[in-house]
Amino acid sequence: MNNLGLLRFKPYFKTVLWGGSRITSFKGIPQHQEPIGESWEISGLEGFESVVSEGEHTGKTIEQLLELHGNDILGRRIHRIYGNKFPLLIKFIDASKDLSIQVHPDDSLAAERHNCWGKTELWYTLDPEPGAYIYSGLQSSITPSQLKQHIANNTFSDVLAKFTPRRGDLFYLPAGRIHSIGAGNLILEIQQTSDITYRVYDYNRTDLNGEKRELHVDLALDAIDFRVHEDYMRHIDPLINREIVLKECPFFTATLITIDTNFRLQVSRYDSFRIIIATRGDGKIKDNQGNEVKIRQGETILIPAKTRWVDITPNSDDLEIITAYIQ
């Protein structure tokens, strides 16, 4: 095989009305004039496929890479399941205003209605401002008819579980869990490659033309999990130079590593790619074939499944990374 090296992609900055300026500050890059709500770090979503930004494969989309080297990048097992579509979407989210309350369908419902995958996701909070909040799940069980009544009465948020996040809080959002990001949150999101969202409630807000945004309540009713769960949020305390599993689910496994010395991360044992996202500090990554890249806060690197291991070396004593792969 060709030496694929360590792959870096050009982020796609999504301009939205609720976005802000914190993503560019977090990444340490020049500010944009428009409010940026999301930075898509790695994406295989049709029409938004990530493009390699440096090295031998510069200019190739991730889909083109997978057509040429699918087994070597994804791993044979994962390539067999997902083909040439990259199965995860990695993004940073900056909410300067409250997002709508929404829910995502699971694989079965999304395939039936939209011919695509469902959307299970994970949030890792990076730098919540004072007063920021997150809705995740229900604080009490309700029926579909009660949900409609709460929407009509503008009391829907009263039945949601509300959290005041700290840095390092983890929110697992399986498809079907109602959720929303409040203003003042900066978040890393790991999710299935899907962009199907059902907007359930939007606080009766209007757009620039004075029109209310479309709701998808009837579609959402078949997607919502109306039960109460206990795993809505947990806080993660890092262990230095130890890999902590944040969440393992059928769609991805996410881990946290805080590094103050050289750390060897095994890759090939899982027959899966590894994504490395720097959430604090800076350092360098070197693989078993001698390829080396620098990484700093706000940057993301894709390590092909064919790679045996990488050494991650911090430039300071506070390099924090999140990794994602598929078991």
Domain range 7-235, its CATH number among 3.40.47.10, 2.60.120.10, 3.40.50.150, 3.30.420.40: 2.60.120.10
CA atoms within 13 A on the CB side of 269: 4
User: Quick one: which of 316, 137, 141 has its CA closest to 234?
Assistant: 137
Class for domain 243-325, per CATH?
A: mainly beta
pLDDT at 2: 56
Beta sheet of 51-52, edge-to-edge order: 51-52, 7-10, 300-303, 274-280, 319-325, 253-259, 243-248
pLDDT tens, 81-138?
Answer: 999 999 999 999 999 999 999 999 999 999 999 999 999 999 999 999 999 999 999 9
pLDDT tens, 153-203?
Answer: 999 999 999 999 999 999 999 999 999 999 999 999 999 999 999 999 998
pLDDT at 295: 98
Q: Do the domains spanning 7-235 and 243-325 agree at the CATH topology level?
A: yes
Residue 73's alpha-carbon distances to 78, 85, 172, 187, in angstroms, are: 9, 12, 26, 27
Is the separation of the CB atoms in 195 and 170 below 8 Å?
A: no
pLDDT tens, 201-258?
Answer: 998 887 777 788 899 999 999 999 999 998 999 999 989 999 999 999 999 999 999 9
Nearest 5°: CA angle at 26, between 25 and 28? 60
* Domain positions in the chain: 7-235, 243-325
Tell me the average pLDDT across 27-37.
93
Is the separation of the CB atoms in 47 and 93 below 8 Å?
A: no
Residues in the chain: 327
User: 79 in helix, strand or coil?
Assistant: helix
pLDDT tens, 259-299?
Answer: 999 999 999 988 999 999 999 999 999 999 999 999 999 99
pLDDT at 1: 42
Sequence-distant (6+) residues with CB within 8 A of 71 are 79, 305
